[in-house]
Structure 1
Amino acid sequence: MKHLSPATTTKGPTEMFTGDVHFDVIARGDAPSRLRVNTVRFAPGARTAWHSHSLGQTLHVTDGIGVVATHDHVIIMRPGDTVHTPPGERHWHGALPENFTTHLAMWEDDDATWGDHVTDEEYATATTR
Structure 2
Amino acid sequence: MKNTLVAAGASLLVGAATAQGIQIAPAGTTPTILGAAQNFSGHAAVDIQSAGNSRKHGSVGMVAFAPGARTAWHTHPVGQLLIVTDGKGWVQEDGQPRREIKAGDVVWIEAGVKHWHGAAQANGMRHLAIAYVKDGQSADWKELVSDAQYDAR
Deviation of 1:94 after TM superposition, in Å, equals 0.3
Structure 2 contact 81–130 (Cα < 8 Å) conserved? yes
User: Is 1:2 aligned with 2:10?
Assistant: no
Distance 2:124 2:105 in 1: 15
Distance 1:29 1:123 in 2: 37
For the residue of structure 2 that corresponds to 1:89, the secondary structure is: coil
Distance 1:37 1:87 in 2: 16
Q: Which runs of 5+ in 1 are unaligned?
A: none
Structure 2 contact 23–52 (Cα < 8 Å) conserved? no
Paired residues in the alignment total 126
Which amino acid is the alignment partner of residue 3 of structure 1?
I
Structure number with greater Rg is: 2
Which structure is higher in helix share? 2
C-alpha RMSD of the superposition = 1.8
Which structure is higher in strand share? 1
Q: 1:25-78 CA distances to partner (integer Å, 9 max, x unpaired)?
A: 112662696132110000000000000001100101000001110121422111
Which amino acid is the alignment partner of residue 119 of structure 1?
S
Q: Percent identity?
A: 37
- TM-score normalised over the length of structure 2: 0.76
Structure 2 contact 60–131 (Cα < 8 Å) conserved? yes
Alpha-carbon distance change, 28 to 107 in structure 1, aligned in 2, over 3 angstroms: farther
